[in-house]
Amino acid sequence: MLYVVNGRIVAENEIFDGFIGIENGIIAEMAPGFPAFMPEESIDAEGRLVVPGFIDIHCHGGGGRLFSQDPGVALRAHRTRGTLGILPTIGYNMTMPEFLLAVSGIASMEENEILGINCEGPFINQEYGADTRYASDIEQGIYEDIYSAGKGRIRIWTFSPELEGADEFKAFLASKEEIIPCAGHTGCKADKLGGIRLVCHLFDAMGPKSRECAAIHENGTAEAVLADGNLYAEIIADSNGVHVPRELLVIAYKIMGDRLILISDAVSTPEAGVEGDLNYNEAGELSGSLLSVGRAVANMKRHTGIGWSGAVRMGSLNPARLLGIDSKTGSIKPGKKADIVIMDEEANVYEVISGGRRITDEKG
């Protein structure tokens, strides 16, 4: 039995000073205080936070490389920062041959390395998002090619439901029960959200584009999502509240609660000594981030003042529930997979345990 002792254990609904026992890669026990006898193998958390491994459902890269370029480097960069479940995300900002190659490359990764693939496009509204020149109309031949390149491992597919052909595409996705239809880079309103389960980075790259009339608050995609009682939404919490200002983080959490999922939308991870977690493309447009989900959790907590359990759930249990894997992972609970991270309140990571195995020495 491997023990993690002297930690502030962030469980699903509470936080307490205690320990965790791990056996055969599974969380065997957790309790306040210390184990009754001194375990032969233990990790001292030194009073730091002990949280479940994070799950990132929207992540383009890490360690200076995109998943489409060098999946091993990107994967390690996020694992060493505490993200142990990941959906490498292929963006719309590439040509169709590149997109297909990227999807098939990710689809050939090991079963235990990734949870699947997130296709962010290419069927998005060109008016919403950075560098949308390769965005595509919805065409059956294209989505069938992408689907077969994905070898059944596409789990999220983001598109703009206002585009022509969206209803046929929705019907196609509905016939693939492993795929979660996601609305994003869109100006759609509530009438187009039928059949959608998830929304891509709430408030970012969505309508309304501008407030045309100062006298009224125009209704748009974000308002439709907030008013919907069932949708899940991704959200980006960066350190400065640039993607989503503090007030909107508070509003989203108050309304959506555990249907809110923190994502990195990372195109890389910060190098040591580099300030901030924002990324800009060559045109100077805000484009993805340099976040990890752990950092996003810490930012969300700092911006909104919510408790650790609620903030951590947004980076672990909520995405696990969306993906239907929450009975096996996503929180610190006896019987679940021992994916555990020891970190401080700024999300500096001290130890990562993946399936009961310490991986902190992996380079990333």
Q: Taking Cα atoms as reference points, which of 142, 154, 159 lies closest to residue 195? A: 159
Q: How far apart are CA 178 and CA 40, in angstroms?
A: 42
Query: Between β-strands 41-44 and 2-10, what pairing exists: parallel, antiparallel or unpaired?
Result: parallel
Q: Least distance (Å) from Zn ion to the CB of residue 130? A: 10
Q: Which range binds Zn ion by CB under 5 A, 114-122, 236-244, 250-258, 279-287? A: 114-122
Taking the complex as a whole, how short is the minimal distance between the CB of residue 69 and Zn ion, in angstroms?
Answer: 15
CB of 59 to Zn ion, least distance (A): 8
Nearer to Zn ion, 6 or 158 (CB): 158
CB of 200 to Zn ion, least distance (A): 7
Selected binder of Zn ion within 204, 234, 265, 326 (CB under 5 A) = 265
Binding status of residue 56 toward Zn ion by CB under 5 A:
no
Shortest Cβ 263–Zn ion spacing (Å): 8
Applying CB under 5 A, the site for Zn ion has a residue count of 2
The first and second tokens of residue 216, run together, are 């009224």
Cβ proximity to Zn ion, 48 vs 81, nearer residue: 81
Q: DSSP 3-state assignment of 20?
A: strand
Q: Whose Cβ is closer to Zn ion: residue 201's or residue 313's?
A: 201
Segment near Zn ion (CB under 5 A); pick from 22-30, 207-215, 250-258, 262-270: 262-270
For residue 280 the two structure tokens come to 């800009």
Stretch touching Zn ion by CB under 5 A, among 48-56, 140-148, 169-177, 261-269: 261-269
- In this structure, what are the phi and psi dihedrals at residue 197, rounded to the nearest 5 degrees? -110, -20
Q: Which segment (39-47, 102-110, 113-121, 124-132) binds Zn ion by CB under 5 A?
A: 113-121
As measured in angstroms, the least distance from the Cβ of 45 to Zn ion is 33
Structure tokens belonging to residue 120: 């962010």
Give the separation between CA 276 and CA 266, rounded to whole angstroms: 13
* Phi, psi values for residue 110, rounded to 5°: -60, 150
| Cβ-based nearer residue to Zn ion, 120 or 351 | 120
Q: Smaller CB distance to Zn ion: residue 6 or 221?
A: 221
Structure tokens at 154: 């596409």
Stretch that binds Zn ion, among 12-20, 45-53, 120-128, 180-188 (CB under 5 A): 120-128
Provide, rounded to whole angstroms, the least separation between the CB of residue 358 and Zn ion: 31
Show the beta-strand stretches assigned E in 24-107.
26-32, 41-44, 49-52, 54-59, 61-62, 65-66, 83-91
Give the separation between CA 290 and CA 58, rounded to whole angstroms.
12
315 near 298, Cβ under 8 Å? Answer: no
Is 185 or 337 the residue whose CB approaches Zn ion more closely?
A: 185
Beta strands 198-199 and 232-235, pairing class: parallel
Query: Which residues within the stretch 322-351 sit at the binding site for Zn ion (CB under 5 A)?
Result: none
Beta-carbon neighbour count of residue 302 at 10 Å? 16
Which whole-number Å values give the CA distances from 320 to 53, 139, 213, 314, 340, in the listed order?
Answer: 11, 31, 41, 10, 15
Give the residue with the Cβ less far from Zn ion, 182 or 341: 182
CB of 236 to Zn ion, least distance (A): 9
Q: How far is CA 103 from CA 3, 96, 109, 153, in A?
A: 39, 11, 10, 9
For Zn ion, the nearest residue by Cβ is: 265
Which one, 135 or 343, has the nearer CB to Zn ion? 135
- In angstroms, the CA 135 to CA 47 distance is 48
CB of 309 to Zn ion, least distance (A): 27
In this structure, the number of other CB atoms found within 10 A of the CB of residue 173 comes to: 22
- Nearest approach in angstroms of CB 129 to Zn ion is 9
Shorter beta-carbon distance to Zn ion: residue 56 or 265:
265
Of 277, 291, 228, give the one whose Cα is nearest residue 56: 291
- 18 or 184: whose CB is closer to Zn ion? 184
Where along the sequence are the contacts to Zn ion (CB under 5 A)? 120, 265
